[in-house]
């Protein structure tokens, strides 16, 4: 049986700041050696050359080591950073750590569990094709097993980080006589994310194994629990599976839903309710009362260039890439729902939720005593 989970969201005061992680450890909320995953937003450009992800990664690992964790084990902790805090999105990190069972609240109700795995090495010529789908799917199954999840329906969120294509890796493939799906490095971000999402969907039985020709082209196939990011900092798929299991105990529970489009606030509320939080018929962010730890969303500009029947210019804008525009839009919608701009909103949602929308996962605190989520009041 996996151990219970403690999860907290902390702000990043600068791009290289991990002081709030240090404070959690100093205050005894979690132990450095028990941190098993970090998922966060940094304030870079969110593109291929967004090195704020590497800066933040280093800062968090350095704190874990300084606080007593084994450096070798720290190097294996999945730390997934999504770059780009466009609009009101606030830089932050959600930190997952195990708890000794005797320190956790005891309950037989489903509670949060987390599993992690790394895929086999991904070659540049495999990105966008069946070998990548198969390797990701295999890693998802391993992560599920480590989380103590046997039923795919108990998986509510799968966060991944995978390699994209760079000039260097494209050159490497060519030197070995191989072809790559695209030589557009920015396009390869969508490609890597979308292909990874299909691997998740296959592992969880959401779809059958797709044909290579369907990757990025058939948007009717998708995973409703995937959140896929890509970057230059690794050559494998990092896979973090988050779900619920009975018997693990703890305060937290996760649920999910999907946004059908960029304005679908109801999709966010549905995920929060699916996590087990009781809310009125027409909820307001003040009803959350610190019970929401965080929400995790993917978003994508609709391929038809419309939202609610109205035309927009995101896909035609040559000045500001649509990645940044849709992220800002959905970030604003999310903050208006939760009352907290520190929400994980990530772009490039190919095969992640319906076209023009995206998956939503929500972690809530159902424990006794003071809730551990964010609660803002006007001064």
Residue from 262, 355, 375, 358 nearest 303 by CA = 355
Of the listed 161, 224, 302, 327, which one is catalytic? 161
CA 240 to chain centroid, in Å, comes to: 8
Indicate the pairing of strand 344-347 with strand 292-299: parallel
Residue 229 annotated to the active site: yes
Strand blocks (E) in 105-145: 111-118
- Does residue 174 have an active-site annotation? no
Query: Of these residues, 229, 257, 328, 348, which one is catalytic?
Result: 229
Place of tokens 């294509």: 165
Contact residues for 56 (Cβ-Cβ < 8 A; gap 6+): 12, 15, 16, 18, 40, 42, 81, 93
Q: What value does the CA radius of gyration of the chain take, rounded to a whole number of Å?
A: 19
Sign of CA dihedral 83, 87, 90, 96: negative
Backbone phi and psi for residue 136, each to the nearest 5 degrees, phi listed first? -65, -45
Residues with Cβ within 8 Å of residue 236, at least 6 apart in sequence: 118, 119, 120, 121, 122, 162, 163
Residue 57 · residue 12 · CB < 8 Å: no
Residues annotated as catalytic (active site), given as ranges: 161, 229
């Amino acid at each position: 049986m996996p151990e219970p989970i403690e999860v907290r969201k902390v702000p990043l005061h600068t791009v290289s700041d991990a002081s709030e992680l240090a404070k959690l450890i100093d205050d005894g909320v979690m132990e450095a050696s028990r941190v098993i995953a970090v998922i966060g937003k940094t304030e870079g450009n969110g593109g291929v050359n967004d090195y704020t992800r590497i800066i933040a990664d280093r800062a968090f690992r350095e704190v874990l080591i300084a606080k007593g964790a084994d450096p070798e084990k720290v190097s294996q902790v999945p730390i997934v950073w999504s770059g780009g805090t466009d609009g009101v999105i606030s830089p932050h990190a959600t930190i997952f750590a195990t708890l000794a069972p005797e320190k956790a609240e005891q309950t037989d109700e489903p509670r949060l569990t987390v599993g992690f795995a790394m895929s086999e090495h991904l070659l540049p010529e495999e990105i966008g094709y069946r070998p990548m789908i198969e390797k990701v799917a295999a890693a998802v199954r391993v992560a599920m097993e480590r989380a103590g999840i046997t039923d795919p329906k108990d998986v509510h969120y799968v966060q991944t980080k995978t390699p994209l294509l760079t000039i260097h890796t494209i050159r490497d493939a060519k030197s070995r006589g191989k072809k790559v799906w695209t030589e557009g490095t920015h396009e390869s971000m969508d490609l890597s994310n979308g292909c990874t999402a299909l691997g998740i969907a296959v592992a969880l039985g959401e779809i059958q194994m797709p044909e290579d020709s369907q990757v990025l082209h058939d948007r009717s196939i998708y995973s409703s629990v995937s959140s896929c990011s890509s970057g230059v900092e690794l050559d494998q798929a990092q896979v973090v599976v988050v779900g619920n299991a009975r018997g693990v105990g703890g305060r937290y529970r996760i649920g999910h839903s999907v946004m059908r489009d960029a304005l679908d606030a109801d999709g966010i509320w549905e995920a929060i309710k699916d996590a087990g939080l009781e809310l009125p018929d027409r909820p307001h962010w003040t009803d959350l009362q610190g019970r929401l730890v965080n929400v995790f969303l993917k978003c994508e500009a609709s391929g038809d260039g419309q939202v609610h029947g109205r035309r927009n210019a995101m896909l035609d804008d040559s000045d500001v890439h649509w990645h940044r525009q849709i992220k800002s839009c959905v970030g604003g919608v999310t903050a208006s729902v939760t009352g907290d701009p520190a929400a994980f909103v990530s772009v490039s949602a190919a095969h992640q939720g319906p076209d023009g929308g995206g998956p939503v996962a929500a972690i809530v605190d159902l424990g006794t005593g003071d809730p551990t989520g964010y609660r803002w009041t006007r001064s």
